[in-house]
Amino acid sequence: MKRTILCSIVGLLMMQTIASAQSEEGINIFGYAQGQFEQSKVYGIAANSYNTFGLQQMNMLFEKDLSQSFSSFVNLQFTGNFASNKSWGTFDVEEAWVKYHGSEYLNIKGGLLVPTFNNFNEIKTKTPLLPYIMRPLVYESPLADLISATNFIPERAFLQVYGAVPFGSLKCDYAVYVGNDDPDFISGVSRVTSLSGQDTSSFKMIGGRVGIRAGNLKLGVSGTHDRTNPGSPFALPLFFQGTPVSAVASMLGPVVRTRVGVDASYQVAGFSLEAEYIGVMHSPTDHQKAILSALPRMTGGALYDNLDKEFYYGTIVYDFNEQYYAYVSYSRIQDNFNVVFHSGMNNYTFGGGFRPLNSVVVKAQYGRYDMVDRALFDFAMDRLSVAVSVFF
């Protein structure tokens, strides 16, 4: 017993010594969080009403300069009132990388990172910087268990080279990165041939973005090329398990996929305008096309005849002053291989906010989510939210 107590004391002293040493060496520890109250009313097939308080998201960030040219960064993310003992929410290591900063023209990140794709992907989790509580559909869908963000955006890469090259009054941004294929190829358990979390495919994702900045105008074009696995047990939500769709998807195997994105943003006279488009195209083989062509006959209609998807949104924000702002936004999603989103889903939303301090934002937002064809899938939702976002 005495030995156990002694070991514990030594361990605590070592932890304190290490923490002190890290502080002296300049590790910056900071973060942000957003808590919210939400009131929702669902119409149609899942008619329901509820209201709830919750910690929507919290991020803990660790940053350290290793030298004049090298730095490191770790981003730990908690969502949905995270409590591991109650199986609430999620915990993810969002980022863990080392960066080489050669100059404005050349930077290299290595490790787990969020790749550059359009304008919003890299900042989508930075809640104090966002006007929204609920983000545009792909980035925060009310039906997240029915559609995966990775179908539209690359969420992880492991090596990225990027920079900016000035041309007179213009700046040309570029980014090129590589990473694993779709998460559906990642092993969930350790096996003889792979460890948990490893990519089990021989393919890799490549992607990038090129853009220009001219004053308050920013334009860019993004793209990725990889493979997806529609037949994975995790690729289709539980809603589709045991249906003809999942049966046919299981026969497809890896399918070549190309994501293309276009983004634009502009600021003038207190207004900030931003918009994005994402198109997801698939290139099935002749054999895979033959499998897909059987689906309309199996489902009694012309659904699911291809895997392609589309998403776009536009937002206008007006800053009345440094403290108050308001915005309106519209987004739409469509997925040809998903009965819920086959005809498309619209999201109309507006809201505003108040900044009592530079590090605190109080937000309010109303959103309407509506299927384009409710005869195909009868769903609509009204959602009212208030939130406090804090940077600490």
Confidence grade of residue 190 (pLDDT, cut at 50, 70, 90): low
Confidence grade of residue 18 (pLDDT, cut at 50, 70, 90): very low
Joined tokens for residue 209: 């973005």
Tell me the domains of the chain and their CATH numbers.
108-391 (2.40.160)
Q: Which residue has the higher pLDDT, 130 or 196?
A: 130
What are the pLDDT digits (tens) for 240-259? 666 666 777 778 889 999 99
- Alpha-carbon dihedral sign for residues 221, 225, 227, 233: negative
What CA–CA distance (Å, rounded) separates 57 from 130?
A: 13
**Residue whose entry in the numeric block shows the structure tokens 């934002």:** 361
What are the pLDDT digits (tens) for 197-213? 777 777 899 999 999 99
Q: Which residue has the higher pLDDT, 384 or 338?
A: 384
- Is the pLDDT score of 53 beyond 60? yes
Q: Are 177 and 210 in contact (CB under 8 A)?
A: no
Residue 57's pLDDT is what? 94
**Residue whose entry in the numeric block shows the structure tokens 């209609």:** 301
- The stretch 286-292 carries a mean pLDDT of 86
What are the pLDDT digits (tens) for 24-50? 468 999 999 999 999 999 999 889 999
- Is the pLDDT score of 238 beyond 80? no
Lowest pLDDT segment from 98-107, 222-231, 313-322: 222-231
- Is the pLDDT score of 15 beyond 90? no
- Is the pLDDT score of 87 beyond 60? yes
- Is the pLDDT score of 386 beyond 60? yes
- Is the pLDDT score of 177 beyond 90? yes
Lowest pLDDT segment from 171-180, 206-215, 296-305: 296-305
Q: Are 54 and 36 in contact (CB under 8 A)?
A: yes
Q: What is the pLDDT of the chain when averaged over all its residues? A: 86
Q: Are 215 and 199 in contact (CB under 8 A)?
A: no
What are the pLDDT digits (tens) for 143-152? 666 778 888 9
Cα–Cα distances in Å, from 25 out to 19, 28, 72, 101, 257?
Answer: 10, 9, 13, 19, 45
Question: What DSSP state is assigned to residue 301?
Answer: S
- The stretch 87-104 carries a mean pLDDT of 94
- Is the pLDDT score of 16 beyond 60? no
Q: Which residue has the higher pLDDT, 314 or 190?
A: 314
What CA–CA distance (Å, rounded) separates 63 from 28?
A: 5
What are the pLDDT digits (tens) for 338-365? 777 888 999 999 999 999 999 999 999 9
